[in-house]
Amino acid sequence: MAKVLGKGLEALIKNYSQDNQNNQTNISVSDIITNQHQPRTHFNKEKMNMLIESIKEKGIIQPLTVRKNKKNQFELIAGERRLRAAKAAGLKSVPVFIISIDNLAEMMELALIENIQRVDLNPIEEAEGYLVLKEKYHFTQNQIAKSVSKSRSEISNKLRLLKLPKKIKEALLQNKIFYAHARSLLSINNISIMINIYNQIIKNKLNARQTETLVKQCQNIIPKTKDKKAYQFLKYEQVLQNILNTSVIIQFNDKSKGNIKVQFKNKKELDSIIKRIKG
């Protein structure tokens, strides 16, 4: 397996096919069972509809990849989206590559590689796939990195996403926030503050750079002694942000004196903030 990792399905198909010249054929969609090791669990409805319409018009251009299991069933290795779209489009049969592979860890590996190379997996799905390789098949992070042609640090960062609160993981899965947002949030150790910042991202539609700035600002005002007063000011920030519908930063000194910074992008937004202040 090592000599073809990261080289694409063509190399994988050639490596695992018993007959490289005649390994492509058509089989009935009813004869294909789904891959229980499929890393993708969320399918974008809009993109799926586009794929369905494309298949109705032009058919399936890139064959699915399957293997024949011990029960003589055709088990899907790569092509979950195409199979679903083919069924929705009313196709009775689909083109497939049949490859010979028995190792379940390698099946998971191929499914991951296929998804990453074709249509980017959602970061949470990708992380869950890596976790299966790590926990169930005892891959090291270095081995996973080699398998999908990514750096070890990238694998480590993706796995860390699984430690996020459920609310944030679901938002990432549904593309309400993106990987860059999540990476910034991971640097916050306090869950309540992390949720607070996440709510600000959603409400104020913060981009990745704005989120990173907000996280750094929060880290600067949270003393290592975990002074409750510091956390209280974060709560006040949230209240003001909800009222003014913009980013608000409260800065204070040891005597609890300070100032409030209200951010705006242009004069129109400033006028809107002033109107909200006037009530």
Contacts of 244 (CB under 8 A, 6+ apart): 262, 273, 276, 277
CA distance 137 to 37: 12
Cα dist from 31 to 13, 64, 154, whole Å: 20, 13, 37
* Token couple for 51: 């794929």
Question: Other C-beta atoms within 10 Å of 101: how many?
Answer: 20
CB 262 within 8 A of CB 269: no
Question: Other C-beta atoms within 10 Å of 92: how many?
Answer: 10
Helix boundaries (H) for 136-177:
141-147, 152-160, 166-173
* Token couple for 215: 């996280």
Apex CA 268: angle with CA 265 and CA 274, to 5°? 95
CA distance 20 to 12: 11
Question: Other C-beta atoms within 10 Å of 242: how many?
Answer: 13
CA distance 134 to 141: 7
CA distance 125 to 121: 6
Residues acting as catalytic residues: 80
CB 175 within 8 A of CB 124: no
